[in-house]
Amino acid sequence: MAAKLLLIEDVEDLGRSGDVVSVKPGYARNFLLPRGYAVVADKSALRMQARLQEAREQKALAEKAEAEKIAAQIEGVTLSTIVKVDHEGHMYGSVSAHDVAELLQAHTNLEIEKRSIGLKHPIKKVGIHKITVKLKEGVTADITLKVMSEEGELEVAEEQAPAAETE
């Protein structure tokens, strides 16, 4: 039997503040209620719903403006990292969302969470990769990541130089 709850705070992958949701009793009892993310949806809580939704809309406008400002700063940024590869060109390890978030923070001095980095799987190949950064309120920005090998770093630079001269 599902428990009906009124969310007091935003819960990722569940809903926003002011939403009435149905969840399994264990999730409500062990996670949402003890942490204060929700209350049982009774008559008094439902009277609170309109105020919560209005406050959420105000917060959403502020978060969207902030996210658009951050997106403008990181849109089109090109990051590069140097990795170790074996003699066959296979990477030792990989470049994860955490690594991309650290590179982005070092480049822009902005705190971006690793869960905002749109990587389904860690990058395991040398090359140029397009990555989408998902910010709050559905705002996104695209960045480019160049993954280069220690030895191949010079080869990539040498390959690009003659191409630029012939154009």
- pLDDT tens per residue, range 50-87: 888 888 888 888 989 998 998 888 888 899 999 988 88
User: What would the two tokens of residue 19 be?
Assistant: 């939403």
- On whether the CB atoms of residues 36 and 72 are closer than 8 A, the answer is no
Give 75-166's CATH code, choosing from 3.40.50.300, 1.10.10.60, 2.60.40.420, 3.10.430.100: 3.10.430.100
- On whether the CB atoms of residues 98 and 115 are closer than 8 A, the answer is no
Choice among 30-34, 59-63, 108-112, 151-155 with the minimum mean pLDDT: 151-155
Choice among 5-19, 69-83, 140-154 with the minimum mean pLDDT: 140-154
Instruction: Say what the alpha-carbon torsion angle 128, 132, 133, 139 is, to the nearest 10 degrees.
Output: 150
**CA atoms of 28 and 34, how far apart (whole Å):** 8
Structure pTM? 0.69
**CA atoms of 9 and 36, how far apart (whole Å):** 8
Give CATH for domain 3-63. 3.40.5.10
Domain boundaries, the chain: 3-63, 75-166
User: What would the two tokens of residue 156 be?
Assistant: 């990539």
